[in-house]
Structure 1
Amino acid sequence: MSLLRNSNIADLLLGDINGRFRSRRRREPLDPNRFPKIPSDEGTELMNSGQFGSSEAEKLREGEMIIGKKLARRILDREIAIESTAKRELNQRLMAQGMVPSSNADMIIHYNQPVYSGQFSNDGNFFFSVNKDFRVRMYDTSNPYKWRYYKTVDYPFGQWTLTDATLSPDNRYLAYTSITPEVCLAPTDPNDKGDPYVLDLAGGQAARHANQGWRSRSFGIWSVKFSGDGRRLVAGATEGKIVVYDIESRSVLHSFDGHDSDTNAVCFADQSSPHIVYSGSDDRVIKVWDTRSMGGDREVGAFMGHIEGLTYIDSKGDGRYILSNGKDQSMKLWDLRMVMSRHEFRKMTPDVRNGNSNFDYRWSAWDDDEWYKDRNDNSLVTFRGHKVLRTLIRCHFSPPGSTNSRYVYSGSEDGKVYIWNMDATPAGVIDVQSATRNSRPRYQGFHQPGRWHQDVDDEDSSAWKTCVRDASWHPNAPVIVASAWNGYAMSTGTCTVHSWNDGAEKDEADPKMGYRVNQKLEVDPALYGATPDMGPGRMSARVRNSRLFVP
């Protein structure tokens, strides 16, 4: 099957709007109790286990005085060290998990094209944004409240958009890709101005310099990840393909059709082992692979429970728990100990494994009457409330350092970041659309008045719309960055920085909340002075007199 016939790409490139009118199979009768119980009993047990933050039971064990303390008192107790080591550690964990970022944006970074992904490095010193203009911007975030622009790298021959990027464990190299078989590998050193090198995951050709062009587009990559030792890449691609690539030898170790439809997401199980890989697909199945025995294209096991295709999977990094987002508007938590065996999985007929749905998540609205519990569901907890529509929206575990591993979170098509406790109860919502609404002029480029750029032809271009495709929680600070398609008809993009501010609606610091900058973190007068009724030459006195404004 050619690339253009692929279901994910053909509609994007050819504008197949007919998907919204396709019929969908009804399942009758509907069970009124089919939706997952909230709070989840299994999730509550996990919260009480101590693996996902500090629970009420743990607080009680440590003493009643811990429960009633306000944040300021906890900080004071920590500083003067009046309590036992165990209670000080508990205080620290409780402070961390209570600091959930708010909707108010500290900083709004504007881009002239939609943003597809944005992630912090594991140590928090680095952030990169992946854009539709085939560029990845890098930022120094060693101080998460005072960013510095670092570097931009290009993808010289992309198709439609950049789809994914991954940072090596030592932060030295960034691998990024488009809907082609090519992965660009660029050093993050700002003094290295050379073009990126290109890795051919289609096989048959070693890495080469980007200006030498590319060989084929036999398949396109949706997801790419570094292994924990930084020596390998795993990629998920069109038509169910999975590729494991050895960077040192510049060779494809494994390449095979692991799924019956597009492999939208891949990840390694943990940072210490490069062997266990997870993959998620439009065929609704998550598969577990061992790279030491991939020669026969045989999975170790499988997870089933999503009734529509997978958009993303994330590993907690402990080799046990993974998280997935699905087009059935649900996020699921999985435990490797509950995996379905290969033998049991392969006994199922294809229609039982893959279902039979014509739902097109890019154009259609989801009808909850279509939701049902798969009888083969071996997930642990199901999270609902967000919208996994339009694009391959991503989900993540919250980091241990800044959240005590208490939460899971996801972007959403309605312009928000949803945060849940492990028992599936809501823990917070970050409203990115409200925080950014009308924060830039209606023309596409800051200095190109009158030029329109609209990707979505059937939307009112006067409406400010937001779709949060990705979000990243800083590993050491209570800060979340939301990466979004954002603006009039979602034709542009933003990365917005949201921090915990103890409920404060205003900030007396300089710059104020909602500080607007361009992709290089420069104050552009058009961002402040131009409104729907004002031209680009108008600028507020505050910005004109700001020490940050350089004409």
Structure 2
Amino acid sequence: MSDTPRAPHGRSSASPSPVDRPRDRLLLDDDDDDMDYVPAESGEEAESLMDELDDGDFHDAEESLSNVSLEFTTIAAPDDDDDAEDDDDNEDDDDVVGPNGRSIYITREQIMQLLGHAGLRRIFADHASGRRAALDDDDDSETDNTGYGGVGARSRRGRGRKAFEKVPSDAGRKLMASGTFGANDRPEDPYLRRKKLAYRLMRRELGLGCVGRQKLSSNLISQSLIPSSKADTIIHYDARCYSGQFSNDGNFFFSCAQDFKVRMYDTSNPYKWKYYKTVEYPYGQWTITDASLSPDNKFLAYSSIRSIVCLAPTDPGDNSEPHLLDFSNTGTRGRRGFHAYPYFGIWSLRFSGDGREIVAGTGDRSVYVYDIERGQSILRIPGHDDDVNAVCYGDPNSPHILYSGSDDTTLKVWDRRSMGDGREAGVFLGHTEGLTYVDSKGDGRYVLSNGKDQTAKLWDLRNMMSAREADKIDINQYTTGFEYRTNSYDESDYRPHPHDRSLVTFRGHSVLKTLIRCHFSPPGSTDSRYVYSGSYDGSVYVWNLDATLAGKVDVLKATRNSRPRDADLLAETYDFIGRNGGTWQTCVRDASWHPNAPVIAATSWNGWGTSLGTCTVHTWNDGMEEDEGDPAMGQRVNAQLEHDPELYGSPEGGRRGTSIFSRRMRSRRIDDD
């Protein structure tokens, strides 16, 4: 399902969210209202915290008393012993059995002194937790099927934040230790356990250690260079920016905007970009949905919500019109021109590793494979029950394995060598809402997905479910049909999928309003150590493989008020009137990590009411907010990378523009009346 503002359809409108049902609201736990969930900052900190908790039982500090332990036991006494108990209560002293079996006499004042620190709180907490446990036992006795649909349905599995996966993830830690996702430090002695960056650089320059240790040191250096929030450059667009990616060699970058233009930049020097050229999609619908660069960087394919893909040369000296690829042409009928095939929209597309084919995910619930030389689609896979929002190849060296993610909550694996029956090779279940993006590590084994259930998930091809197993499961039983374009996600609605086959689940980001993307970090600049994702809250989240947060690039903070309001421009933009009050907001829809340098380029809906767009360039700067370089950090440029004085106007002056805009809208309403 796209982010186009259209009426919900399919099962999304058939089943309301459980939060809308009165009885379900009564069934939500009080502690499910906590919306401030943040992943652990690092696996080491979380582990040390758990070690501290496991060291031993908690003991309150004692004053004036030592080696005294109190044990309270509640005994059910007969009714006729009430008077005797009352008499005992009038005693001034109580006796406690000491460690040697000898009675120790202490006064009530001493008992209250012991309990005055935290003892009473612990007693009350234990009593309350016991009462909650009893209520949970009562809940478990009720009839339950899935915990998803059905008024009054109860789940025996955890719900809300209590049901979130463990962080740090054990499976993720094993992957980190395996060497598949980055290097791990093996210190020669405890003194060298945590080397400073400068120390590692010195050892590398001096060539100290064996060849293997030198390579390890270089990998550890690259892993530690996560870009900072402070932007080196802010590229402003007069339309929302939907996606942007570096080429595989890092020499090229493109960004797609809602004005149906794709801008290309020379990034051979990642710290000094140069404007290349702009190509346009003719007769596009709503926006450019996706783009993909050919492996040799000579052609760019880009799509809109139509069945036509434009193929344009990237040579700045070639100003020819883009070549049109009609994905609805399967060779069964003649071609009839550009306007003849508006049957479906294309949400995602990718070049094959050899550059001969393009795979596309479409709005007709199908995956298409287009052969560029033959000029037609050679394969159509109608394998999903809803829009196919994301597709990719499993291995750049082979066109046989395909991945597709859909609004039907499934991630499917297709092997073109064994599709005689038209069935998928396997299925990944685990997301409880639709998928927004799919990215392959490129090794034919690991794949990453982003979902509207506010999670990103890592999958292993060896753990996929067979098509025969998946046929026995009703996938609609485990989803609420969450409408992510108009609602905020309520964590109390979350129920873990009982058939989840994912290795690691990543949380903390926000997947709302649009198809937000996630990626594996590149092997060159990060040693494949991380996964990262955009977010509706205006940040790029970077996770370790154990689901702990490794870093966060705050694009909202870096760009807030970085251009003044323009009444004429805002009057023609979408989502400004009445939705968010025209405040500065940022939604990071896509991000790309440079393959050879510690640089992240984030493409966003950004501006007053998220009505415009930016591409921000973030580099590793060791936490510095300013530098002595020229130009200064935070420079603002237009889409052609030119200095624009209007971008440096006072944001406060925008109040006048807003009042002009309001007067114009009022006059329009009067004219309409």
* TM-score of the aligned structures, taking structure 1 as reference length: 0.89
Provide Cα deviations, 1:171-193, integer angstroms capped at 9, x if missing partner. Answer: 11110000100110011111110
Is the CA contact 2:2–2:514 (under 8 Å) kept in the aligned structure 1? no
Q: Which of 518, 522, 527 lines up with 2:642 in the alignment?
A: 522
For 2:244 and 2:406, the matched residues in 1 are separated by: 22
Query: Which position in structure 1 is the counterpart of 2:178?
Result: 49
CA distance in 1, matches of 2:570, 2:359: 43
Aligned counterparts of 1:46 and 1:241: Cα–Cα separation in 2: 33
Q: Which position in structure 1 is the counterpart of 2:17?
A: 24
Deviations 1:428-458 (A, max 9, x none): 11110110001011116xxx67855243433
Alpha-carbon distance in 1 for matches of 2:242, 2:476: 32
Corresponding residue to 1:455 among 575, 592, 600: 575
C-alpha distance in 1 between matches for 2:496 and 2:474: 18
- Matched letter for residue 518 of structure 2: C
Partner residue of 1:503 out of 614, 623, 632: 623
Which consecutive residues of structure 1, in runs of 5 or more, have no partner in the other structure? Answer: 1-6, 538-551
CA shift for structure 1 position 275: 0.6
**Local SS of the residue matching 1:439:** coil
Does the aligned pair in 2 maintain the 1:232–1:244 contact within 8 Å? yes
8 Å contact kept, 2:576–2:608: no
Give the counterpart of 1:365 among 488, 494, 515. Answer: 488
CA drift at 1:98: 0.3
Q: Is the 8 A contact 1:34 1:372 kept in 2?
A: yes
Q: CA deviation at 1:247?
A: 0.9
The alpha-carbon distance between structure 1 residues 450 and 281, as it changes in their structure 2 partners (threshold 3 A), is: closer
Counterpart residue number, 2:252: 126
Q: Secondary structure at the match of 1:441?
A: coil
Is 2:266–2:276's contact at 8 Å kept on the other side of the alignment?
yes
Give matches, 1:139-538, under 5 Å.
139-204=265-330, 213-349=338-474, 351-352=476-477, 355-443=478-566, 451=571, 453-533=573-653
**Residue 350 (structure 1) shift:** 5.2
Structure 1 residues 495-527: Cα deviation after superposition (integer angstroms, max 9, x where no partner): 000011011111111111111000000000101
Contact 1:388 1:412 survives alignment (8 Å)? yes
The code of the aligned residue for 1:377 comes to D
Amino acid at match of 1:514: G
Cα distance 1:205–1:65, how it changes in 2: closer, same or farther (>3 A)? farther
Give the 3-state SS of the residue equivalent to 2:309 in structure 1: strand
Name the structure 2 match of 1:544: none
TM-superposed deviation, 1:529: 3.0
1:75 aligned partner? 201
Q: Distance in 2 between matches of 1:236 and 1:228?
A: 17
The alignment partner of 1:343 has SS state of helix
Deviation, structure 1 residue 255: 1.3
In 1, distance between residues paired with 2:307 and 2:654? Answer: 45
SS of alignment partner, residue 373 of structure 2: coil
Distance across 1 between alignment mates of 2:468 and 2:506: 29
Could you tell me how far apart the structure 1 residues matched to 2:314 and 2:245 are?
14
Distance 1:204 1:409 in 2: 37
Inter-CA distance 112–307: structure 2 relative to 1 (3 Å threshold): same
Name the amino acid aligned to 2:496.
K
- How many angstroms apart in 1 are the aligned matches of 2:465 and 2:270? 41
1:212-266 deviation digits (Å, cap 9, x = unpaired)? 6332111110000011111111000013111011111112111131100000000
**TM superposition outliers: structure 1 runs of 4+ over 6 Å:** 19-22, 534-537
Identity of aligned residues (%): 55
Is the 1:223–1:264 contact (alpha carbons within 8 Å) kept by the matching residues of 2?
yes
Q: State how far apart, in whole Å, the 2-side matches of 1:362 and 1:480 are.
A: 27
Q: Deviations over 1:312-361 (max 9, x none)?
A: 00000111000000000000000000011111112324534xx4423100
Number of residue pairs aligned between Structure 1 and Structure 2: 519
Paired amino acid for 1:268: Y
CA offset at residue 461 of structure 1?
4.0
1:40 equivalent to 2:181? Answer no
CA displacement 1:4-59 (0-9 Å, x = unmatched): xxx647x615699xx9998313533462642100000000000111111122xx42
* 2:186 match: 59
Which amino acid is 1:173 matched to?
A: F
What letter matches 2:501 in structure 1?
N
CA distance in 1 between counterparts of 2:494 and 2:327 reads 37
Structure 1 stretch 66-75 or stretch 217-226: which is displaced more? 66-75
What one-letter code is carried by the residue in structure 1 that aligns with 2:492?
Answer: D
Q: How far did residue 370 of structure 1 move?
A: 1.1
Which one has a larger percent helix, Structure 1 or Structure 2?
2
Deviation of 1:417 after TM superposition, in Å, equals 0.5
1:327/1:450 Cα in 2 relative to 1: closer, same or farther (>3 Å)?
A: closer
Alpha carbon RMSD of aligned pairs, Å?
Answer: 2.5
Specify the structure having the higher radius of gyration (Cα).
Answer: 2
Tell me the CA shift for residue 381 of structure 1. Answer: 0.3
1-side partners of 2:361 and 2:327: how far apart?
11
Separation in 2, partners of 1:230, 1:305 = 32
Aligned partners of 1:67 and 1:326: how far apart in 2? 38
